[in-house]
Chains A and B, each alone.
Chain A
Amino acid sequence: MKKILKYVVIDILRNKIVLAYTIFLLILSFSIFNLEDSSSKGILSLLNIVLIVVPMVSVLFASIYVYNSAEFLELLLSQPLRRKTIWLSVFSGLLISMVISFVAGVGIPVLLYEFSVTGFTLIISGILLTIIFIALAMLVAVKVRDKARGIGAVILLWLYFSILFDGLVLFLLFQFEDYPLEKPMVAITALNPIDLSRIMVLLKMDISAMMGYTGAVFRNFFGNATGMCISLLVLLLWIILPIWISVRMFNRKDV
């Protein structure tokens, strides 16, 4: 495992896209903190980046990387290696490089400018989102053989989680306006990792607004230790489930 992981990481780093991504995030974070009047506003702008750019780059880069590594995977598959080992090595390699790149690009500026619970929550959510979307990308890459279709699927997936899902939720909210929707809403957010991370940060950032009645329901759930643990668990599930399914599929995949 370690050996393949080493080569995957070296390969990704040689790729330079990850480096460019890191620098992009760094410049963005620093300029946001320097341009905004207050660091809390900076955190808000960064939240948008974490919720939009990070999943997109993660899912796109990971899927493209896996498709482009078809040769490498083929080479490894003919060698005395366990398939699971190969697949998890690729996953871990992507995970390590992308997480390092996120922590360097967003984590460090946040810790420098806004060392607070909000900042910390933002970093944790960003890391989890990175991993979740790598896992989803790998699931798509193993399921869809064709690269173009795969990348298309991955973009749709991203679009779904960042916009369509919320649009649907908004639609539901207004369709069932007359019903108490607070509690079902808590369950529905579990179906979208981006929403879940957003709410975790929101509860820290807009605590005053979240203290309204509706907010209080959310806060009662997400705000205490149990709710926080459940949220984190759900996010972890969003990593484990796709990667577990993809391992099973990869075990049966023909090269």
Chain B
Amino acid sequence: MKAGFIIAAIFLSYTSFALQIRVGRQESCTTITAAIAKANNGDTVLVEPGIYFEKNLVVNKSIVLKGLNYPVIDAEKKFENISVRANNVVIDGFKLQHTGVSSIVDFAAIKLYNCSRVTVINNIIEDAFFGIYSQYSNTCLIKHNTLHAIAATEQQSGNGIHCWKSDSMQIIANSITGHRDGIYFEFVTNSVIWRNQSSGNLRYGLHFMFSNDDAYISNIFENNGAGVAVMFSKGVKMFSNYFKENWGDAAYGILLKEINDSYIRGNHFERNTSAIYAEGANRILMQRNIFRNNGWAFKIQASCTDVVLEENNFIGNTFDVATNGSLVLNRFNNNYWDKYEGYDLNRDKTGDVPYRPVSMYSMITERNPPAIILFHSLIVSLMDRSEKIIPSLTPENLKDEHPLMKPLPL
């Protein structure tokens, strides 16, 4: 009897609360704020096309806020567009613009305050300070949003998707351009970043700090001011991402700093100044990545230990590997290096002599960057050749014992 009552109550609650409230010029509610005031948990607020000046729209009930054909919510450069302060909220199909800029408060187009299970989907966010901002939230889905900012300086702009002290977030298929950092993670755990495109941001395409046990998969990071930075984290999985054309002295396909126990697999690094820069990275397994036409494919500092590179393709890079010391506690094995000039007499598809991926000249340019101007000159070729025969400057142990003769089909 008691159970039956509860079931009936749940059923009743669903039927009784599932109201639809329409917002529009012709409707009873002309502002979204009014509609939310009227709504109860579980209701749907449908917003008709038009431009809404809601000052700071606060969603403090568990409702579905759905825009029809992208209604515009304009924050007049003074406010936060939408503040979510309830669980189970869905924000779907809005165009959010002109978020306020402040140096004290992190205004965002959509900000999630201590929420769970919030879905932010199909929104267009333009000229925002921060785009989608999550703090102390968990289990939220941020999907199919397009964020575009016209940031002039790093101080004047915020991050595209910014998560702070959050957990179990899903960031899927968003497109972010022109922000400070495309996607920013700090103290975020157990989250996944999947199929996003982050390009043309001022600083990092993805900025990742103190965030353990996250995965980012099949994202494209292109032409960002400083590439991607993954720092002070452990248990990070990076699969099948594209890192392209991140150009500049301090720009890296990935900057790995103090990263432990992570897995980098199946990524493409193309035309970056430095594809991977690793500093203080430990126990990292890098497999089946493609490094193509980068300036430096892999810059590994002597502070790294137990970094293992296996079955990667290195093709058309100016320098394959560069390092700053002679201590090598990392392992290279079974990679394909297009600069390998050895032979395979026993036909086991791996070269019979080891390959030393650190060229002498990469050591020299490491110490003296302007020396790059002599690259490809006869004297440099001669120096590289003689170094290959008698290594003196390059670390003796940094070598691939079994380089592949043919590139891996990746």
Contact = CB atoms under 8 A, between A and B. Distances in A.
Interface in A143-183: 162-163, 166-167, 169-170, 173-174, 177, 181-182
B353 interface: no
27 contacts: A40-B293, A40-B316, A41-B316, A41-B338, A47-B376, A51-B378, A162-B378, A166-B378, A167-B379, A170-B371, A173-B370, A173-B371, A195-B373, A198-B377, A201-B376, A202-B375, A206-B375, A206-B376, A209-B294, A209-B296, A209-B319, A210-B295, A212-B369, A213-B248, A215-B295, A216-B248, A218-B372
Nearest to B339: A41
Interface in B332-378: 338, 367-378
B404 to A, nearest CB: 12
A201 to B, nearest CB: 8
Given A208-B294, A212-B273, A52 B372 contact: no
B247 interface: yes
Interface in A181-232: 181-182, 185, 189, 194-195, 198-199, 201-202, 206-216, 218
Given A189-B373, A213-B249, A173 B271 contact: no
A212 B249 contact: yes
B370 A214 contact: yes
B249 to A, nearest CB: 3
A211 B248 contact: yes
B13 interface: no
A166 B379 contact: yes
Given A40-B316, A173-B368, A214-B369, A208 B378 contact: no
B381 interface: yes
B370 A208 contact: no
B372 A195 contact: no
Interface of B: 245, 247-251, 271-274, 293-296, 315-316, 318-319, 338, 367-382, 407
Nearest to B275: A208
A23 interface: no
A48 interface: yes
A155 to B, nearest CB: 14
Contacts of A48: 376, 378, 381
Contact of A38 (B294, B315, B378, B382): B315
- Which 4 residue pairs of A and B lie closest in terms of their CB atoms, listed nearest first? A209-B295, A213-B249, A209-B318, A211-B247
A235 to B, nearest CB: 17
Contact of A169 (B274, B374, B382): B374
A124 interface: no
Given A52-B378, A167-B379, 15 more contacts: A37-B338, A51-B376, A51-B377, A170-B379, A195-B374, A202-B375, A202-B376, A206-B375, A208-B247, A208-B273, A208-B295, A209-B296, A209-B372, A214-B370, A218-B373
Contacts of A189: 373
A38 B338 contact: yes
B372 A211 contact: no
A185 B373 contact: yes
A216 B250 CA distance: 11
Contacts of A206: 295, 318, 375-376
B378 A163 contact: yes
Contacts of A236: none
A44 interface: yes
Contacts of B245: 208
Contacts of A163: 378-379, 382
Contacts of A208: 245, 247, 271-273, 293-295, 318
Q: Which of B368, B374, B379, B382 has the most CB of A within 10 A?
A: B374
Contacts of A213: 248-250, 369
Nearest to A194: B377
A216 B367 CA distance: 17
Contacts of B251: 211
A195 B377 contact: yes
A208 B245 CA distance: 8
Contacts of A194: 377
Contacts of A212: 248-249, 273-274, 295, 369, 372
Contacts of B378: 48, 51-52, 162-163, 166
Nearest to B248: A211
Contacts of A47: 376
Q: Which of B250, B271, B375 has the most CB of A within 10 A?
A: B375
Interface in A28-61: 37-38, 40-41, 44, 47-48, 51-52
Q: Which of B248, B250, B367, B372 has the most CB of A within 10 A?
A: B372
Contacts of B372: 209-210, 212, 214-215, 218
A249 to B, nearest CB: 30
A198 B376 contact: yes
A38 B315 CA distance: 9
A209 B370 CA distance: 12
B318 A174 contact: no
B342 to A, nearest CB: 14
A221 B326 CA distance: 35
Interface string A60-98: 000000000000000000000000000000000000000
A209 B377 contact: no
Contact of A174 (B338, B368, B373, B407): B368
Contacts of B369: 212-214
Contacts of B371: 170, 173
